Amino acid sequence: MEAIDRTHGDPAEQSGIKSATQLPLLFGPGDLTSDSVGYRNDRKVGGTFSEIRSSLQAMEAQMALDFLNPESLTGLGQAIRRKRESLGLTQVALADKAGYTGRIVRAIEHGERTKLQTLRDVCEAIGLPADSYEINDNIISDPKYGSYNISHYADYIGIYFGFRHGLTVQNNFLRTVYEISWSGKKRCLEFLENQKYTSPNGRVQNYSQEGDIYIRNLTGMMHLLTSFRGSLRLITLCKMKKDDSIFEGVIMTQIEGSHYYSPGVSPFYLKKVEGVTDRDSLSEHVGNIFPDDDAYRETALYLEEIQREVARFSPMFLLDPKVTRLSSRVSKQRT
């Protein structure tokens, strides 16, 4: 029987955790524009819904393969501008010569992210050796994880504290330690969570987790997925807040009740710990945060803000107070 955290609801055991199968690719009509990523004028998306979806999926996978790190883009953009001016070409003239719009050339010269093939085409049009600017120096995740370029997420690698509600005793919080690193074997970012601590009754709890990280290039949303014997735990996070190195989002897992298991959801955040390279050095900080702890107020305020401003939990108080509960267990009229 697999171990389930009865206190905090984590569904996977410490060992034997496998990576999940490919997550579904979601997209919206405003996710992708040709000018924003540098596609040629003659590359159009059209046809049936299935054809459009397939085209967008292919484009999205290609986007990460072709994105460069900011330093390479800046240097190459300046070199293209100097070469163009030495040839007496305007941006529009170079764009026509390369088969793109003037807007694309302007973006490239300003160091904005674009496609490798676009850069190659523009460089070829003016006789500039693009490869000397390290445009091929990219490490890309496996497509099933999102085909993300690790150079864009290098600052995600490191040690973090993770904070969330307890899912059984909800007025307590849980603090654990996460490490995010790159797996060359799986070609993705992965995480390890230290969730081993001693409970107030003296019992050692160890529901440590590990799993793979999925990132969607178009949104920057990051997903930490643990999968074990049909049980899943998913943490979905917004882009890192660069000013304080914090990820904000939601954790969804499962908890064991007296008669059945049920989903458990909590606002969640990761806070990077600077200057630490060994997650085990923070083990003493893993465990419950109780109302009389110094960290309780700050954690409570931050989780409340995430629930109110970030995670978009549907507020039940907006329901009509006269609505009838549909549950078979409670059929009383709300008053």
Across the chain, mean pLDDT equals: 77
Minimum mean pLDDT range among 25-39, 111-125, 148-162: 25-39
pTM exceeds 0.85, yes or no: no
Tokens for 248, please give them: 């904000």
> What percent of the chain lies above the pLDDT cut of 90?
42
Lowest mean pLDDT segment, chosen from 104-118, 123-137, 202-216: 123-137
Contacts of 212 (CB under 8 A, 6+ apart): 19, 20, 145, 183, 186, 188, 189, 190, 191, 224, 225
Least confident of 19-23, 139-143, 192-196, 201-205: 19-23
The overall longest dimension of the chain from CA atoms, in Å, is: 80
Q: Is pLDDT at 211 greater than 90 in this prediction?
A: yes
Q: Which of 46-60, 95-109, 111-125 has the lowest mean pLDDT?
A: 46-60
The DSSP code for 153 is S
* Among 30, 10, 4, 333, residue whose Cα is nearest residue 164: 10
159 has pLDDT over 80 = yes
Q: What is the pLDDT of residues 219-258, one digit of tens each?
A: 889 999 999 888 899 999 999 987 889 999 999 998 887 7
Q: Cα–Cα distance between 88 and 286 in angstroms, integer? A: 63
- Say how many C-beta atoms besides its own lie within 10 A of residue 11's C-beta: 26
| 121 membership: H or E segment, kind and range | helix 116-126
Give the pLDDT confidence of 23-77 residue by residue, as tens digits: 233 333 333 333 333 334 444 445 666 666 666 666 655 555 455 566 667 888 8
pLDDT at 119: 83
The full set of domains in the chain, from first to last, is: 34-140 (1.10.260.40), 150-318 (2.40.128.120)
Of the two residues 324 and 291, the one the predictor is more confident about is 291
pLDDT of residue 258: 76
For residues 168-173, average pLDDT: 83
Whole-number pLDDT of residue 37: 37
Confidence of residue 322 (pLDDT cuts 50, 70, 90): low
Predicted confidence at residue 57, as pLDDT, reads 60
pLDDT of residue 192: 97
> What confidence score (pLDDT) does residue 328 get?
52
- What are φ and ψ of residue 213, in 5° steps? -115, 125
Residue % of the chain over a pLDDT of 70: 69
Q: Which of 196-200, 239-243, 287-291 has the highest mean pLDDT?
A: 287-291
**Is the predicted pLDDT of residue 283 greater than 60, yes or no?**
yes
The residue with greater pLDDT, 316 or 291, is 291
